[in-house]
Homo-oligomer: A and B are copies of this chain.
């Protein structure tokens, strides 16, 4: 029996157990961005640490940080001559709002049409869990791990990785290895696997505009008090010109346009029509002068992720709100500096707001983009493993999303990085009805296991 057959057999025989454990993991409301869920975060981390120790044969521990605890695990029995692979993922998830659009309780995983619906089903509990199952299979099959393996599973990927970020210098020795595998990416499409050799950086901030300190009646005060909602739409509308170019000073200064050779290393194929159809989108954003795939990967963006001011519930309330809030984020490309972008964006907001409106900007910080080698040992091994597992040639990709901590890990730990995963843009991650399926779970499991052998 080939090693893949052995692994497949183990997976089939343990399918129910693995799925039950995965469901258990999904039930934790490990929402890192909202302090109300701090206890659930702790319970999730503790359960995961114990689970790893009991089921995978790795030593595991919780590492406290200034933020959420880190789940760390290792099996170094391959010895000092074998390479060491660090695998990164996260146990925290995005908030489940708007909850009323979910067809099931987002924290009660539900099988429907062959999919598993739950917050975190794909991002990232599903993907990190199949990676752990690869180690578990070797352990239960009595196969010695061919490489040393370390797992770094953090609890703040969805909220800026602040704890891990601050602890990284201290963890340098513990986390060191030959390469970093980040199992938090999409594949190329439903059939075709892909590895990601870059992701965009991110900065995020919250903007509050305040008129009067109290809500005002829009009849009694209408025409007199300047409405913060009006100030907000006028201010934010100035952020783009009519070609979609972001108007913040120096925003594009450090953006380097790829040359043909660099472009040639990646798959930029992207069917605009099929994209619009899949997501039922008729309005396309971004900069007019670039293709859809470029806008999404090698160009920076600015998004209004949240707007809230006044009364937007049922019916109507004739109010001039005291204040109005916008949540803004930018996706950054290599060489853009998060601090500089936040500084310039903050300056833009202060300079362009109507006179007399009080402006408050709170930064959520940010991280740089990363870009790594397309021909590292790890990239070659993962691509080969994925090709074997799926029977389709693995594509090399760039990712539009962000894994904020990766650029710091690359820098501080001096490692090659490869992003892998079997996510799809249709998985509704960060949205209602996020889902994943056990078929892709198995492919992920097999790809990680096979990568360990190929390294």
* Chain A residues close to B by CB (< 8 Å): 32-36, 94-95, 97-98, 101, 159-160, 186, 199-200, 202, 204, 206, 211-227, 229-234, 236-238, 240, 275, 279-287, 290, 292, 295-296, 299, 301, 303-322, 324-327, 329, 331, 354-358, 364, 399-402, 425, 428-433
List chain B residues, Cβ under 8 A from A292: 223-224
B430 and A295 within 8 A (CB): no
The answer to whether B303 and A320 have CB atoms under 8 Å apart is yes
Q: Distance in Å from the Cβ of A185 to the closest Cβ of chain B?
A: 10
Whether B313 and A97, one on each chain, are in contact in the complex, defined by CB atoms closer than 8 angstroms, is yes
* A348-B342 Cα distance, complex, nearest whole Å: 35
B303 close to A325 (CB less than 8 A): no
Contact in complex: A431, B279 (CB < 8 Å): no
Task: Pick the residue among B212, B308, B316 that contacts A312 (CB under 8 A).
Answer: B308
Contact partner of A307 (CB less than 8 A), chosen from B217, B229, B357, B401, is B229
Tell me, in angstroms, the Cα distance from A301 to B98 when the chains sit together: 33
Instruction: Specify how many copies of this chain sit in the oligomer.
Output: 2
Please state if B400 and A223 are interface contacts (CB–CB under 8 Å). yes
User: How many angstroms between the C-alpha atoms of A10 and B348 in the bound complex?
Assistant: 63
Contacts of A432 in B (CB 8 A): 214-215
Residues of B within 8 A of A290 (CB): 223
Whether the Cβ atoms of B319 and A305 lie closer than 8 Å is yes
Chain B: minimal CB distance from A433 (Å): 8
Q: Known contacts being A224-B285, A285-B230, A296-B222, is A35 close to B314, with CB within 8 Å?
A: yes
Q: Give 9 CB contacts A-B under 8 Å.
A: A94-B317, A97-B317, A101-B214, A217-B430, A220-B425, A223-B400, A227-B285, A227-B304, A304-B309
Q: In whole angstroms, what is the CA distance A244 to B401 when docked?
A: 40
Interchain CB contact under 8 A, B233 and A237: yes
CA of A319 to CA of B324 in the docked complex: distance in angstroms?
18
Closest to A429 in B: B217
Chain B residues near A223 (CB, 8 Å)?
A: 285-287, 290, 292, 295-296, 299, 301, 331, 400
Whether A304 contacts B229 by the Cβ 8 Å rule is: yes
**Which of these, B34, B279, B287, B319, contacts A315 with CB under 8 Å?**
B34
Closest chain B residue, CB of each to CB of A399: B219
Cross-chain contact B213 with A280 (CB below 8 angstroms): yes
Task: Give Cα A219 to B292, complex, Å.
Answer: 13
CB-contact partner of A430 in B284, B303, B319, under 8 A:
B319
A316 to B295, Cβ gap below 8 A? no
Select one of B227, B313, B401 contacting A303, CB under 8 A: B227
Nearest to A295 among chain B residues (CB) is B223
- B contact residues around A295 at 8 Å (CB): 223-224
Contact B305 A308 (CB under 8 A): no
* A63 CA / B223 CA spacing, docked (Å): 37
Task: Knowing that A32-B315, A305-B320 touch, tell me 17 more A-B residue pairs with CB under 8 angstroms.
Answer: A95-B317, A202-B219, A204-B318, A212-B281, A218-B301, A218-B305, A219-B331, A219-B400, A219-B401, A222-B296, A224-B284, A224-B285, A230-B285, A304-B309, A308-B309, A316-B329, A316-B364
